Amino acid sequence: MEEFMDRIVIDHEILGGKPVIRGTRIPIYLIIELLGNGLTEKEVLRQYPTLKAEDIKAALLYASKCIENEETITL
């Protein structure tokens, strides 16, 4: 489960410290946003050919861990 962290980098020299997929400048939030807006995994991979399916899984797991202990927001 924690192996997804090997795919994610947080470096203040890259996108101001936003988490990105290792070896890219593709931020985690962008992957989540694309999926949330209805793109399929296949479409994201086609749009960003440097990504791998494991990177998308890592992004989802990272986002899950970030919000795991957050309070519920009323929409």
User: What is the per-residue pLDDT for 4?
Assistant: 75
With 0.85 as the threshold, say if the pTM is over it: yes
Query: 2-65: what fold?
Result: Arc Repressor Mutant, subunit A (1.10.10)
SS3 26: coil
Taking the domains of the chain in order of start, what are their residue ranges? 2-65
Q: Does residue 10 carry a pLDDT above 80?
A: yes
The residue-averaged pLDDT of 18-36 equals 97
Average pLDDT over residues 40-49: 98
Residue 67 backbone phi and psi in degrees, to 5: -100, 0
Task: Say which DSSP state 8 is in.
Answer: E
DSSP-H helix ranges across 1-75: 28-36, 41-47, 53-67
